[in-house]
Amino acid sequence: MPSTSLAAAACPVARAQGLMGRWKALLLGQSISIKPQSRSAIRHLSIEDITVPPSWLGGTTFPTVLLLPKPQNDDASARQLPIYLALGQQSVPFLDPLTGLTFSKYENELGVSFSIALPDNIASGAPYDAVLQTVARKDIGWVALAWGGSMTYNPIALAWPHGDEVVLTSRIAFGYYVPPIYKAAKYQILPKGTFVNATHFQVTAKCSGCTSWGDDDIGVTYLNPKEDQYLAFAYSSAPVEEPANPESGFSMHDTTGHWVHSFAQGVNPDFEQLLSKNLEGTGPGEGSSPGPSATSSAPVAPTSSLAAPPMASTAVGLPFPTFCGSVPTRRFPYSLAPGWKATKISGNLMNPRGLAFDPLGNLLVIQSGYGISVHTFGADGCMNGTQGLILIPGLNHGLAVTPDGKHLYASSMTTVWRWDYDANTRTVSNQVVVIKGMNNGGHSTRALWLAPKNPDIILVQVGSNSNWDHASGNPAEGRSDIRAFDLGKTPTGGYNYVGGGFQMGYGMRNAVGVAFDPNGDAWEVENSGDSFARTVNGVSTDIHHENPAEELNYLGDPTKPNNQWYGYPTCFTVWDPSVFRDRTDFKTGDQFVVAPNSTFNDAHCSGKAVAPTLSFQAHSAPISGLFDDVGDNMYVTFHGSWNRQPATGYKLVRIPFKKDGAQYKPVAPPDSNKGYEDIMWSTDVERCSGNTCLRPAGLVWDNTRSRIFMGSDNSREGELFVIAHESF
């Protein structure tokens, strides 16, 4: 039987479903192929040439096909288009001779396997325990399973070898940084199924809390034991930082992937008896050390991690501290431009992101995976007190305090809340939903800002749901955009993000940072795409190290709608034109498409997409910005790359600005690749990673606007710095 073409060029999803009937397809890229001899291949063909092997068309059980963003791997031929193929019933049943349990087992091409065993006759909707068995090569640094098929907002089982033992730890991530301990999912190791030999390690454990999770914020997920489930894995060749410590940090994954797992294949009628037999002589241990709870988004009473100081900070200018004796020394080396100074004022934080000062000079910090802390200062300019303010782990980035200090706003992946705030007592009350219904998935941070022109206007950002989010080219989807909402007209129950408020630009892949110039106009810094290749006439060229550029875009007056399209997911910005083989006339700042064709090519971007005002080195990851009072400079944090070797970013930069008539604009022209200067940067940046260098994140001026406060959310230690120039 010949292969069957999906002929999906015109409408891939509808055509695929209509052709087969039993297909479920979701296309989030431009081109795919299915390699006939492999059910998990990742290769690139033109979209008109998608074929299905005949062996997949027979029988009564046809595999479910999900065409999803491919994991980052070292397959250069796959970088052109981010497609990953996952097939239903990739798992197979097997009887484990060590434990006596019947498992449903999935093994990927890396030789890593995940097996799941369940009890029989689980009542509909009832919570249930499961047994997870993970096997991997001993030379793998760590391996993880995500029970919800995503690396954020679902339980993660993370395992690694340590000598003759295996460490298994329960985690959950609220953003793309090292996930903290997750206490709601508890593991109890089965000794008979856990070992380390000369080549591999295996860990088998009962999990309570892995098959259902969530709350009113992100929704409750329940894994139906009678259905196939969409799961995910990740692994890294790099060892964890502290192998003996279940709370250890670790580096970015090398590879991720997905599959569809048949839970029904792992049903055991005598599950409880077998489990009891395997747990004989063991204690109630979890396999992971206790850590901060990460389960609730309901209001939580403030608690103090340190005794509250006798007095709050004040808005009066404090001296610049040259050294804060009680604070650990800076964790990572950095350099400063001439005339600049920096001092570490706090350490041992958990993923510090959003920063804000209240009118009394107290510093509020979102620590993703923990909540919001508030910090006070002594007369020496160092911190003299820290306390927990709002203990909601899902608050992961956005934070703002109203100018009068009476209200506090913060965001999770799906929701923006408001609290009444008392700066004198550093307490909150009356939690209210302001905005709801933001995309549950993808880039998980939801940055927010109050407009200086009118603090009743709040801007909120939602990124793409993947590297390539084609549907977000439609502004009605409510992704890859920024929207503005009038807080004075908030409806009961809050705005719906999709369709609520008004547009402040769309087609911005992940606009994590917004800053306001002295006119009160908004500028955004955007994280652009990963793993790009340029394909012309069927020939692909890897351009991903130097392209596409990150962007600085002008959004304008935040009190007025901006319905302009900024290019994503079609038009991108050139950083290094030299790597484009098909064109010699490109300049930095020009627009390009990944695979130009007669329907849409580079030239079509002109006049359709708003080009950036300035470009940044690809993969720098700009995530926060500030203007000075006179508009001469914009300061931007470059969080740092994960998709580039050698690494780049990991620094604080200054963009010189000037006034052009009534408006502000960068001094450098749009085609410049030298439009910004380093202020504070990691030494030996080419070797940097998420756990080896300074990771600049949130920025805020103090109330006198004489000092910049910056967070660094390195996975080994979250830090806070105060930074100033000798002229301030």
The residue with greater pLDDT, 376 or 88, is 376
Residue 46, number of CB atoms within 10 A of its CB? 15
What mean pLDDT comes out for the span 346-359?
A: 96
For residue 716, the model assigns a pLDDT of: 87
The pLDDT score that the predictor gives to residue 464 is 95
**45-70: pLDDT as tens digits:** 233 333 333 333 333 233 333 333 33
| More confident of the two residues 148 and 26 | 148
Strands (E), 329-443: 334-336, 340-349, 352-357, 363-367, 371-377, 383-390, 399-401, 407-411, 416-422, 427-436
pLDDT exceeding 70 applies to what percent of the chain?
83
pLDDT at 728: 79
Distance CA 98, CA 194 (A): 9
Please tell me the predicted confidence (pLDDT) of residue 251. Answer: 83
Q: Evaluate whether 233 touches 112 at the Cβ level (below 8 Å).
A: yes
CA distance 524 to 508: 9
Pairing of strands 142-146, 228-236: antiparallel
The pLDDT tens digits for 563-607 are: 999 999 999 999 999 999 999 999 999 999 999 999 999 999 998
Name which residue leads in pLDDT, 456 or 9: 456
Q: Is the pLDDT of residue 309 over 90?
A: no
What is the b/e burial string over 76-86, where b = at least 16 CB atoms within 10 angstroms of the residue's CB? eebbbbbbbbb
Separation of alpha carbons 6 and 52, rounded Å? 7
471-488 pLDDT, tens digit each: 999 999 999 999 999 999
Residues with Cβ < 8 Å from 692, sequence gap 6 or more? 251, 332, 714
Listed residue (496, 517, 693, 699) closest to 613, CA to CA: 517
Question: What burial class does residue 659 get, using C-beta atoms within 10 Å of its C-beta: 0-12 exposed, 13-18 middle, 19+ buried?
Answer: middle
With CA atoms as reference, report the closest residue to 308 among 362, 353, 355: 362
Q: Give me the chain's average pLDDT, please.
A: 85
> What percent of the chain clears pLDDT 90, i.e. is strictly above it?
74
pLDDT band at 283 (very low <50, low <70, confident <90, very high): low
Q: What is the pLDDT of residue 69?
A: 37
Query: So what's the pLDDT on residue 591?
Result: 98
What phi and psi values does residue 686 have, to the nearest 5 degrees? -65, -20
pLDDT of the residue at 215: 82
The CATH homologous superfamily of the domain defined by 99-278: Cellobiose dehydrogenase, cytochrome domain (2.60.40.1210)
**What pLDDT score was predicted for residue 317?**
77
**pLDDT for 569:** 97
Segment 79-86 shows an average pLDDT of: 33
Res 432 pLDDT > 50: yes
Which CATH superfamily hosts domain 342-725? TolB, C-terminal domain (2.120.10.30)
Least confident of 312-316, 396-400, 558-562: 312-316
What CA–CA distance (Å, rounded) separates 116 from 264? Answer: 10
Tokens of 307: 């005794």
| Closest to 39 measured CA to CA, from 79, 91, 78 | 91
The backbone torsions φ and ψ at residue 77, rounded to the nearest 5 degrees and listed phi first, read -70, -15
Q: What is the pLDDT of residue 289?
A: 32
Residue 664 has pLDDT above 70, yes or no: yes
Where are the chain's structural domains?
4-87, 99-278, 342-725
Nearest residue to 480 via CA among 468, 495, 494, 496:
468
* Res. 284 pLDDT band, cuts 50 70 90: low
Alpha-carbon distance 261 to 232, whole Å?
Answer: 10
Instruction: Label residue 233 by pLDDT band (50, 70, 90).
Output: very high
> Do residues 442 and 466 lie in contact, with contact meaning Cβ atoms separated by under 8 Å?
yes
What is the distance between the alpha carbons of residues 347 and 389, in angstroms, rounded to a whole number?
18
Which DSSP symbol is given to 488? G
- Specify the amino acid at residue 445: T
Residue 727 confidence class, pLDDT cut points 50, 70, 90: confident
Collapsing DSSP to helix, strand or coil, 474 comes out as: coil
pLDDT confidence of 240, banded at 50, 70, 90? very high
**513-533, pLDDT tens digit by residue?**
999 999 999 999 999 999 999
What is the model's pLDDT at position 219?
80
Over residues 103-137, the pLDDT tens digits come to 999 999 889 999 999 999 899 999 999 999 999 99
Inform me whether the pLDDT recorded for 14 exceeds 80. Answer: no
Flag the least confident range among 23-37, 645-659, 706-720: 23-37
> Can you tell me the mean pLDDT for 236-245?
93
pLDDT value at residue 117: 98
Please report the pLDDT score of residue 663 as a whole number.
96
